[in-house]
Structures are given as C-alpha cells and as structure tokens.
Structure 1
Amino acid sequence: MLGVSYARNFFDSDQRPLRKFLTSWEGPTLLIHGRQDELVPYAAAIEHRRIVPQSSLVTLENAGHGLPITHPDEVSKAILEWLQPVEANQSQTKRQANLGRLTQSRLPFDASSLPPVTGFSLVILMLLIAVATFASEDLASIGAGLMVARGTFGWDHALLAVFVGILAGDIALYVAGRILGRKVVTLPPFSWYVSAQKMDRGAAWFEREGAKVIIASRFIPGSRLPTYVAAGVLKAPFWKFLGFFMIATIFWTPFIVGISFLLGNQILSFWEIYESFAIWVLIGVILLIYALFHIGLPMATHKGRRKLLSRWKRISRWEFWPPFVFYPPVVAYVLFLAIKYRSLMIFTASNPGIPGGGFVGESKKDMLDLLPEAQGHVARFVVLNEDSDYERAVSEFMTSNELSFPIVLKPDVGDRGHGVLIADSLEQIATFMGERNPNDAPVLLQEFIPGEEFGVFYARRPSEERGSVISVTEKQLISVHGDGRHTLEELILDDERAVCMAPLFFKRHMAQLDTVIPAGEHFQLVHVGTHARGALFLDANHLITPELEAAFDTIAASSTGFYFGRFDIRTPSADTLKNGGSFHILELNGVTSEATHIYDPNTSLWTAYRTLFEQWDLAFAIGKENVARGSKVAGFLDAVRLIFRFKIQPDSKPDTAAPARA
C-alpha cells in the first residue's frame, strides 16, 4: 500500500525520504512502536504521529525492536482493530483530522523535543565518535560538543568518547613508530600525512625538550602526528609518554568540546529559526569553526600571527599568486594577438635559431651555444652524460678551466630554478647524481660566478640594426641574520620579506628550523636567482644605458637566430653592468621568458599586465618579420609535443637546498 518510496527508506540511512512521504500521505495510518526500542527511538514514533495528523499510535510498553517477531499477538490485535473502521470506510483521513493536530503537523521539527540517547544506541553513538577521531580529532570533538548542545547525550559521554578515541589513535601512532622505526613514514597511511623531514624535526624536538613536547604538540596544529611517531621511533618510555599524553588530552578535550557546546546552543537556535536557509547556516557554521581554529587560535601567539601574516601576504600580493590565477588575462591577450596576426604560433618564429623560439623545454646548452663569439661573457660549462664517469668529468672540467669549488649543477632542461645545486665538494655531487632518475634530463655543470645577479631582457626587430634592453631585474638572494637567541624558524617569520614565502623556506630548511643561528652569522635562504624559489626581484631599469645596450647588441649580433629573450647574468656590481662592463651569462631564455622586473613588490598589477602585453606584442611583431624573411613557424602539434616532452621530464631534486653561505 505504501509503495516503493516507503520500501526504499529501509535502504537509506537518512530518514528524510520517510518524512517526505509521511507528510504527503493522506490516507488512514497506524503506527505501532515499542517504547524500549533501542534501534529506532520511541521519539521517532512521537514525531511521526505529529506529522501525520490522521494517524493512530499504539505503544507496546515493554517491547523493543522487531515487534512482529517478538510480540506477534499484540501487533495482530492492533492491526485488526485498526482495519475494522478502514474496511467500513469510517477511518479518519488527513482532511478529516483534528484542526489542532493539523496545525501541529505543519510546524518545523523541534530537535529539543528529542530525549537523550540511551542504552545500546548510546554505546553505538559513542563508538562512532571514538572512531571518527581517527580521521579528525578536532572535527569529532566539535561534533560531540554540538550533540551535547542538542541534548543527544551528556557531557560525560561526549568527553569519554572523544578521550578514548584520541587515546587509542595516539597510542597507535606511538606503537607504529616503535615497531616499524623510521620506515613508518614510507608506508600509507602515515606517508599521506607526514614526511621524513617532518618526523626528523619532531624527533629532534622530542630529544631536545623531552616529554613536555607531548603536551605542547597537542596545541600546535600539524605537530602531533610527527611528534608521536617520533616518540615511538626514539623508543621513549611508554608509560611516561602515556602519562604526559593523558595530561595534554585532559586539558584539550574539554576545551574543544566545550567551545563547540557553547557555540552549538547559538547555532542550533539560529537553525531552528532559519531552517529554510539551512545550507547557508551550514556554510556559516563551517566558516565560523574554521576561523576559530585557524585564525582565532593562531592569533594568540606571535608565531601564529606571523604565519597568518605570511598567508595574507601571499594572497594579497599578486607576485605570489599561482599561475592559474595570474595568467588568464595574459593568455586571453595572446589569443587576441593570434586573431590579429592570423596565426596562433607566429611568435615561435621570433627566435629562428631555437626550436619553437624557446617556447618551452629548450636545452640550456643549446641556448648558450647560440653565442659562439661571446664565450668570454658566458660562464664556462659542460654537460655530464649519463653513461660517463661523472667524477672524472667534473675533475677534468675543473682542472682544465682552473676552477675550484663551489660549482653549479643544474638540469640541462629545467624550469624556474628546480633541481639546482651549488656544490662545495665531490661528495655533494655524488649525492646529487645518485638521487637522479634514469630518465632525468642531462646535468649541466657550470662554473660558479660570484657577484650580483641580474636578468636583462633584450629585443631586436630583424629590420633594425640595433636592439634595445627593455627590462633589467636585480635578483637579491634572501638571507636572515642570526642573533644567538632565535631559531631559524623564528628568524624567517620575523623577517618582513622571508615571511612572505615562509612555507617554501620551512620545507627547504626543515632540518635546521630549530637551530639557533649564532650572532652575526648570515643564513642564506635562497641560492638561485628565481622568484619562485624565494629570490627578491627588484626593478633595475635605471641601469639601462647606451653602454649596456651596446654590450648586449654585440652579443646578440653574434648569435645565430636570437632576437628576443632574457639573459640571466652575474656581474661584480650594478655600476659595472650599467657601464656595459664585465658580466657573465648564466642562462639564455627564449620567447616565453618574462621581463621579470614586474615582480618588484612595488609594481602594480595593472603595470605588470601592461608590460607583459607589450612584450607579447613585440614577440608577435618580430615573429611576423622573421616569417616574411623565410623563417618557419612551429606547428600547434609541435608545440604540444614540446610541452609534453618538457612536462614528463622527472625532477629528481625539485628544491635542492645548497649549504648556507655567509
């Protein structure tokens, strides 16, 4: 009689399908329920009677669940008595229901009317909360607090469930570390949440501070898992670990459950009033809880406030925006130029001597080889072949060129400073080479050039004898200064520039974050002049002079098919560069390189876009002129192949930290 919709309710854990059906049901209805039912509380029968105003409720006082089996006689009697008026067409329908009950049936559900969960249902609920702490201790605690606010169960049950779950989970972390040792971080699910570096830091912290770290880590987001695993790896005394852990949990659990309870009363009251806006209420609750634990709590400490400042700077300053946020307007403008020039890829003809014009994936060696008559300006280099004896090759290269350490290793095909090492010894080179994958790009070994680093963007139209320098960028390698009192982590957070990229520096220097830097010592955070790797870029266009342009005109004129791109160089000083004096070219970049002075913190977003638009205008114009002179345009499929070949290059050392230099 009730149909498929009613039957489907038994396959759904959510009771809303049943509620929807019952509120729309017009016919006679009989409800039979056991008052002692622990699976479906008796309160459900009361609520069903309310929303079905024509219904009759028969309560079996000493019965539980499964009434047709446990109490067949009482059930049969109730059904037979109810069927008599139904068959005589004398039973009540919804239209004939009492006006008072009809009015009550239209009211929203009142959660406060539900009695507390008891008996077996309470045990199951507490067990579910305990298990939920394995996924997220904080969310499980918040959920328990909201249930207390709703009256589902009492404080004692909530605290016990959360405490037992946290106790079991954290003991499991300790035991895993103790049994499996350091390899625990290589095994899922531990490898999903903690790296070897984080565990090493947790171990160092634990060894230095002792068991009190257990208490501190309970209140520091992200530190609990690596610290507890590290305690197991270091074989800390179990009972001592357990004692300090219980002290921390005794303070933490009532706090987070209590906050959720206090807020929960307000949230639930608001929910009852504005139930029709439930989705927005839910979003508001989530945002409020997130703000409390991710903004409110960090604001209580200096370290937390500096980390929030770091996050805010990366959001508010466009120079730190990810490519998918920053580049859509540039891509749109390039598409506009493609329509204007009637060719999507004509810009690849801007540098006929480079495959694809230097669109992507160009070899650093091949690019530098374009400058045969400028070798005095090019930092000396050699490519280490995979099948060669690299130690012998390194020694021969350094001996023949009268070089000493340090020396630079970088992938011949690289991107934004990935995989670069400034090595101080053959041992470091051996480690670097040993960590490479068989399919990695060849390694380019290059002499280390001291001095200041700059990016010089040069462009020349083929129809003109002279080109121009359209951008000069000063690249500052960030360092922090020790005072003998603060750790490296604290120095990074307190430095107004370093704090902007604190997560990057934390990851790179993980093993040294807790080290106190001696007074007067400079700890260099960045060793590669790349903005994405942490370097500070400053607008140095004031260095553009006729002498500077003449120097790069001479170098570009000696090249084979280079008209447009950026030279990354080092020079003794800015004045030397300004006068067109001594400098060494580290890399030459093609058509998709940028006029990087735009990343100066004082450059506005609009100025950056305008500069890039002008740059792409020039790239398309130079490409058009070269095509008219017989140069070929890379096909779209050729460009796709270049991108694919470049992107599948493994990066064996994506963020290598070289030794700190004063």
Structure 2
Amino acid sequence: MPEFYKTLEQLWLFDLSRIDEVSLTAIFLILFFTTFLTEDGACLAAGALAGQGHISFLFAVSACFAGIFVGDVGLYLIGRASGRSLSRNAIFKRFVSDETLLNASEWLEKRGVAAIFISRFVAGLRLPTYLAAGFLKTSFLKFVFYFIIAAAIWTPLLVGSAAFAQSFISPRYFFVSIIGLYLLLHLAINLVTWRRRRLFLGKLKRIGNWEFWPLPIFYTPVFLYVLLLAVRHRSLTVFTCANPAIVGGGFIGESKDKIYRGLSASAENTEFLLEHVLMETENEEAFETFEAWRKTKGLDFPFAVKPDSGERGADVSIVRSNSEFKEYSERTSENFIVQEFAGGPEISVFYFRFPSEDNGKIYSITEKEFPMLKGDGISTVEELILKDSRTVCLASQYFEQNHDRLGDIPEVGEEVPIIEIGTHSRGTVFKEGDRFKTPSLESAIDRISKGYEGFYFGRFDLRAPTIDDFKDGRGFKVIELNGVTSESTNIYDERYSLFDAYRILFKQWRIAFEIGAANAAAGAEATGLKVLFDLYLGIEHEEDPQN
C-alpha cells in the first residue's frame, strides 16, 4: 500500500519522472478506483500514461474497463436490490430526483435494453439509467451484454484519443493536459449536432446570467451576511424564531400540510384557502383515500400534487385523471399534498410584521409569467424550446415537463404553454410586481397572516381569476405559504442587477433576524442546529421544537 500512495503523490505533484519505478498493480488499482469517481477522467489519464509509454494501451483499456464494469454493474445491482426504497433516501434524492429516475425508467421501457447501450455515450444518463434498469428488474444478462458492447467501444476510443494527444505533450504538464483533454472531449460532444449546440449555448447563457447560477454560488455572499448577522445577534439560529408557529421557522423541511392547517385555524381565512388532503406513503390505499376525499368535497380534476416538505417546486405536478394520480402516488417516495387546483394569474407576496406592531407590511410582490411557445407549423415542441433565446437556458427543465409531447408540431400561430408550475427553478419568468401593491391587498394579506398565530415572516403564493382580484384584495387563493428561507423573488426581474438582488436579500435577512430576536426576547426558543440538520436529512420532528 505505501507504493500505492507513492504513486498518487507523484501524480498529484505532476512528477512522472519515476512513474516507471511504480508497479503496474498500483497503477491498475488507481485507474480502477478512479473510474468510480469519474469514468471519463480515468480513461483520459490512462490514455495519457499510455501515450507517454509508461503503460501499454491494452493495460490502460483493461484497467478502465474493469473499473467501469464493476461500478456500473454495481449501480444496477443496487437498484435491483433496493428497488424504489433507495429513492426515498433524503441524501440520495439530492443527487438523483424522482423525476429524473422516472424519465430514465420511461426511456428504458420505450427503448428497451438498447437504452443501456445508448446511455454509455450520453453524459448524465448513465447513473439514472443503470439504477432504473435495476428498479425495473431488467434481465441481468441482457444488461451485461449491452453494457459490454457499449463499454468495449467507448473505452478504447476515449483511452486511444488521450494516448494520441498525449504523445505530443510534455510529461511535465500531465494533469493540465488531462483537464484540457476532458474539457475538449465535452466541448466536442456538445458541438456534434444542432440540438447539442443549442443546449451548450443554453449552458453558456446560464453562466453569463446570475439569474440561473447554482444556488451554492449565488447564495455565498448571502450566507456570509447571515453569519455576520448571527454574530451581531449572538445566535446562529435566532432567525428561526421569526415564525414560532412553524418548525424551524420554515428554514427547511417544514410541512405544507401543517402550515395550511395553521392558516385555516382562523375562520376568516377560509375564503382564501383551497381544499387539500395529506397523502402518506405508508397508506397502501392512497387512491381509495383520495377518491373518498374528492367525492366528499365535491371536487373534480385537475389537482395540484406536491411533496409535503418539498422545496423550489421539486416534484410538483398537475394531475388530470385517476391514472395520472396513480402514477404520481406510485413513483413518489414521500408524503404528499393533493390540493384543489386554482387557475388564473399568479403572484408571490412577501410579508413581514414585527411583534410590537399592530399591522404588517408587504416587502415585495412578484408577478409570474408562464412561458408560451408559438408554433410555426414546421418545428417540434422540442425545437421551439431550443430556438427561443430564453427557454433554451432551461431547456432540460422544459423537456422534463413536456416529455410526452416533445415531438408534436404545433400549427402556425398556435400558442403552446410549456409550464404550469409557478416556480423560477422550473422555468417560470419572474417580474417585479409592485403594480399589484394596493392598500386592499396589503390589508387582506395582513389579516390572513394575523389569523395564523405565531407567523410573522414569509412569502405567500397566490392565484386569482383576474389581476383586479389581487388589487382589490378579494377572490384570490393561497396556494402555499413559505417561511423564513423564502426568497423575495422579485429579484429575478431582468431590471435588477446582481447587486440589487443582494441588497434586497440582505435587507430581507436583516428583518428576519430582527423579528426572530424580538420573538426570542418574548420567550420563543430558537431551533437548534441538530434539529435543523435533521430536517435537512428529512427526519421529521412532530412537535414544534420552539415550544
């Protein structure tokens, strides 16, 4: 083993001058295990070593093929052994969503085992496809057969390409060249067809527009500012006291069902609320329970269905038939809400109230626009998504939500809605909605909020038959209420710069800490870090930890 670590050290320090002194066994093991982290990277590294004459081409291919075979067959066996129970794991769900697995399963069922072969050549499809093959109990022999054929083509090609390129590069730049080859490989893959070029353009546009940046990157300055506020208030989690009525103040993992029932505690709020029911995954008669509830309430399709503790619109769907409801309930891995569907325009209203004040205020309003495509009589829905300058930025999201009609060709001038869920991460366009702010709306939101004892800070998602209903403060329905980690989503309006967005979010968090501190002074107890971490992992806390 010391020799194994010595080899790693040489590679890390770009020192290949003595690599020939290392045993082939150590090199084989390094390449073998590296495939578990990055198959393409391992193949490129093996090819580079072969190109410089440190190992033979056959040895390089064999080491990578062995690692890829063990790793990918392992994914299949994990999927087969665990079944859908794996998708219920909170940590696993943060890497592979139910929707991704569903799409992979549908693709596998449509294409058959040939999908296993195709996925080897399409980045991003391997993990969900191999797991889905296990879930669906695809024949192991067929899986191995198609996998071996695909890997036998892919591995030598990738290793050989790296070997050829590396023969022109100095060993001194080993790692730099590997990174360069890796980037060139993915660039080449992204430029092969018009479809891939458009998808690649969408990626570039997302990089250039902060609106589409990954949350860990965008929220880093906000996180640092929150730490500064925590130092000022001498508490890391005092902001959770902003909403004593909600577990963790609504930081993460809060139950939509419990929040909605909290809103319904006041009889005056009834006119603004939708009928809903909580469906538990342990309930083996979910459909019968749903049907009984639906008939008792006198409701008909469609319905909105969403995880009880989901975030940012994840796994939210509109079901229009019994079969769609059954499909959703069978594939979901957690408790979910079935809610009466409300049509019409949608806005988000961010509200806050200091405990010492009689009336609260609207902090911001976001108007939501649902993208529409216009048919040209020639292009498919997929092509229209890729042609549009904005929808191409979130093409993968729109593909997932319209997967059953991507091949349809709309008529000339026909308008095609491609999203019904009002969340930014799913592709809805957010605009500054200050034109909706009226005394009537502010009064209505304040009245609803005060009817939920222990709520002071958060964002309402509302729908109404007409825009005027919002302005008049009547006729609208509360779709959802989010707590302390709600965003003031008007920041995504194109008129706002990155600095404007941070200014709005910083002020929002400052208010959250101030309200939390005021409630803490009045006796509210801040949620501990352990409880917040449990909520992050999906571990429920039945009792409100603040009380």
Mapping of residues 575-594 of structure 1, within 5 Å: 575-594=468-487
For 1:148 and 1:613, locate their aligned partners in 2 and report how far apart those are by CA, in whole Å.
Answer: 53
Listed one character per residue, the Cα deviations across residues 255-276 of structure 1 (whole Å, up to 9, x for unaligned) are 76775455334303xx4xxxxx
For 1:375 and 1:15, locate their aligned partners in 2 and report how far apart those are by CA, in whole Å.
Answer: 70
Listed one character per residue, the Cα deviations across residues 229-267 of structure 1 (whole Å, up to 9, x for unaligned) are 99x97999xx9x99x989x95xx8997677545533430
For 1:463 and 1:132, locate their aligned partners in 2 and report how far apart those are by CA, in whole Å.
Answer: 60
Residue 605 of structure 1 pairs with residue 501 of structure 2: no
Residue 201 of structure 1 pairs with residue 97 of structure 2: no
Match of 1:406 in 2: 302
Listed one character per residue, the Cα deviations across residues 206-247 of structure 1 (whole Å, up to 9, x for unaligned) are 89xx99x98x988655679969x99x97999xx9x99x989x
- Of residues 518, 525, 530, the one that matches 1:634 is 525
Q: CA deviation at 1:457?
A: 1.0
Q: Report SS of the residue matched to 2:200.
A: helix
Match of 2:534 in 1: 644
- Of residues 317, 330, 351, the one that matches 1:421 is 317
Match of 1:284 in 2: 176
Higher RCO, 1 vs 2 (CA within 8 Å, ≥6 residues apart): 2
Contact 2:240–2:527, Cα closer than 8 Å, also in 1: no
Q: CA deviation at 1:593?
A: 1.9
Q: Residues 331 and 371 (structure 1 numbering): CA distance in 2 closer, same or farther, change over 3 Å?
A: farther
Letter in 2 for 1:456: V
For 1:387 and 1:14, locate their aligned partners in 2 and report how far apart those are by CA, in whole Å.
Answer: 52
Mapping of residues 65-144 of structure 1, within 5 Å: none
Contact 1:407–1:423, Cα closer than 8 Å, also in 2: yes
For 2:417 and 2:297, locate their aligned partners in 1 and report how far apart those are by CA, in whole Å.
Answer: 28
Match of 1:264 in 2: 166
Q: Report SS of the residue matched to 1:414.
A: coil
Letter in 2 for 1:594: E
Contact 1:203–1:234, Cα closer than 8 Å, also in 2: no
Mapping of residues 434-513 of structure 1, within 5 Å: 434-435=330-331, 440-441=334-335, 443-478=336-371, 480=373, 485-506=378-399, 512=404
Q: CA deviation at 1:469?
A: 1.3
Match of 1:620 in 2: 513
Q: CA deviation at 1:422?
A: 2.2
Q: Report SS of the residue matched to 1:648.
A: coil
Contact 2:381–2:407, Cα closer than 8 Å, also in 1: yes
Letter in 2 for 1:377: F
For 1:627 and 1:142, locate their aligned partners in 2 and report how far apart those are by CA, in whole Å.
Answer: 56
Taking every aligned residue pair, what percent have the same amino acid on both sides? 34
Q: Report SS of the residue matched to 1:449.
A: coil
For 1:617 and 1:321, locate their aligned partners in 2 and report how far apart those are by CA, in whole Å.
Answer: 23
Contact 2:102–2:331, Cα closer than 8 Å, also in 1: no
Q: CA deviation at 1:451?
A: 0.7
Match of 2:446 in 1: 553
Match of 1:518 in 2: 409
Contact 2:381–2:410, Cα closer than 8 Å, also in 1: no
- Of residues 407, 423, 432, the one that matches 1:539 is 432
Q: CA deviation at 1:358?
A: 3.5
- Of residues 258, 274, 290, the one that matches 1:379 is 274
Q: CA deviation at 1:296?
A: 3.5
For 2:516 and 2:35, locate their aligned partners in 1 and report how far apart those are by CA, in whole Å.
Answer: 59
Contact 1:381–1:447, Cα closer than 8 Å, also in 2: yes
For 2:236 and 2:196, locate their aligned partners in 1 and report how far apart those are by CA, in whole Å.
Answer: 48
Match of 1:31 in 2: none
For 2:511 and 2:6, locate their aligned partners in 1 and report how far apart those are by CA, in whole Å.
Answer: 65
Structure 1 residues 605-614 or 463-472, which shifts more?
463-472
Root-mean-square deviation (CA, aligned residues, Å) is 5.2
Q: Which residues of structure 1 form unaligned runs of 5+?
A: 1-7, 20-107, 115-120, 177-181, 272-277, 651-662
For 2:455 and 2:30, locate their aligned partners in 1 and report how far apart those are by CA, in whole Å.
Answer: 66
Residue 296 of structure 1 pairs with residue 188 of structure 2: yes
Letter in 1 for 2:344: G
Q: Residues 341 and 137 (structure 1 numbering): CA distance in 2 closer, same or farther, change over 3 Å?
A: closer
For 2:314 and 2:472, locate their aligned partners in 1 and report how far apart those are by CA, in whole Å.
Answer: 32
Q: Residues 220 and 463 (structure 1 numbering): CA distance in 2 closer, same or farther, change over 3 Å?
A: closer
Letter in 1 for 2:409: P
Contact 1:482–1:517, Cα closer than 8 Å, also in 2: no
Contact 2:238–2:527, Cα closer than 8 Å, also in 1: no
Match of 1:369 in 2: 264
Contact 1:129–1:161, Cα closer than 8 Å, also in 2: no
Q: Report SS of the residue matched to 2:191.
A: helix
Letter in 1 for 2:488: A
Listed one character per residue, the Cα deviations across residues 110-146 of structure 1 (whole Å, up to 9, x for unaligned) are 99xx9xxxxxx99x9xx99999999888668756765
For 1:468 and 1:406, locate their aligned partners in 2 and report how far apart those are by CA, in whole Å.
Answer: 34
Contact 2:191–2:197, Cα closer than 8 Å, also in 1: yes
Letter in 1 for 2:311: D
For 1:624 and 1:128, locate their aligned partners in 2 and report how far apart those are by CA, in whole Å.
Answer: 55
For 2:156 and 2:228, locate their aligned partners in 1 and report how far apart those are by CA, in whole Å.
Answer: 60
Match of 2:545 in 1: none
Contact 2:61–2:159, Cα closer than 8 Å, also in 1: no
Residue 186 of structure 1 pairs with residue 80 of structure 2: yes
For 1:389 and 1:187, locate their aligned partners in 2 and report how far apart those are by CA, in whole Å.
Answer: 25
For 1:164 and 1:642, locate their aligned partners in 2 and report how far apart those are by CA, in whole Å.
Answer: 46
For 2:356 and 2:302, locate their aligned partners in 1 and report how far apart those are by CA, in whole Å.
Answer: 43
Q: Residues 343 and 266 (structure 1 numbering): CA distance in 2 closer, same or farther, change over 3 Å?
A: closer
For 2:46 and 2:384, locate their aligned partners in 1 and report how far apart those are by CA, in whole Å.
Answer: 39
Q: Report SS of the residue matched to 1:267.
A: coil
Q: Report SS of the residue matched to 1:549.
A: helix
Match of 1:347 in 2: 239
Q: Residues 635 and 267 (structure 1 numbering): CA distance in 2 closer, same or farther, change over 3 Å?
A: same
Q: Residues 459 and 376 (structure 1 numbering): CA distance in 2 closer, same or farther, change over 3 Å?
A: same
Letter in 2 for 1:331: F
Match of 1:92 in 2: none
Q: CA deviation at 1:293?
A: 0.4
Q: CA deviation at 1:314?
A: 3.5
For 2:342 and 2:310, locate their aligned partners in 1 and report how far apart those are by CA, in whole Å.
Answer: 19
TM-score, normalised to structure 2's length? 0.71
Rg: which structure is higher? 1
Q: CA deviation at 1:295?
A: 1.3
Q: CA deviation at 1:473?
A: 1.1
Listed one character per residue, the Cα deviations across residues 447-468 of structure 1 (whole Å, up to 9, x for unaligned) are 1001112110122334444332
Contact 1:364–1:412, Cα closer than 8 Å, also in 2: no
For 2:397 and 2:317, locate their aligned partners in 1 and report how far apart those are by CA, in whole Å.
Answer: 17
Residue 394 of structure 1 pairs with residue 271 of structure 2: no
Q: CA deviation at 1:198?
A: 3.5
For 2:202 and 2:440, locate their aligned partners in 1 and report how far apart those are by CA, in whole Å.
Answer: 41
Contact 1:142–1:260, Cα closer than 8 Å, also in 2: yes
Q: Residues 137 and 590 (structure 1 numbering): CA distance in 2 closer, same or farther, change over 3 Å?
A: closer
Match of 2:543 in 1: none
For 2:60 and 2:17, locate their aligned partners in 1 and report how far apart those are by CA, in whole Å.
Answer: 28
Match of 2:225 in 1: 333
Contact 1:365–1:383, Cα closer than 8 Å, also in 2: no
For 2:478 and 2:246, locate their aligned partners in 1 and report how far apart those are by CA, in whole Å.
Answer: 17
Q: CA deviation at 1:568?
A: 1.0
Contact 2:410–2:416, Cα closer than 8 Å, also in 1: no
Contact 1:345–1:634, Cα closer than 8 Å, also in 2: no
Contact 1:334–1:616, Cα closer than 8 Å, also in 2: yes
Match of 1:48 in 2: none
Q: Report SS of the residue matched to 1:416.
A: coil
For 2:232 and 2:518, locate their aligned partners in 1 and report how far apart those are by CA, in whole Å.
Answer: 15
TM-score, normalised to structure 1's length? 0.60
Q: CA deviation at 1:472?
A: 0.8
Q: CA deviation at 1:414?
A: 3.4
For 1:130 and 1:348, locate their aligned partners in 2 and report how far apart those are by CA, in whole Å.
Answer: 47
Mapping of residues 308-327 of structure 1, within 5 Å: 308-327=200-219
Contact 1:482–1:523, Cα closer than 8 Å, also in 2: yes
Q: Residues 109 and 195 (structure 1 numbering): CA distance in 2 closer, same or farther, change over 3 Å?
A: same
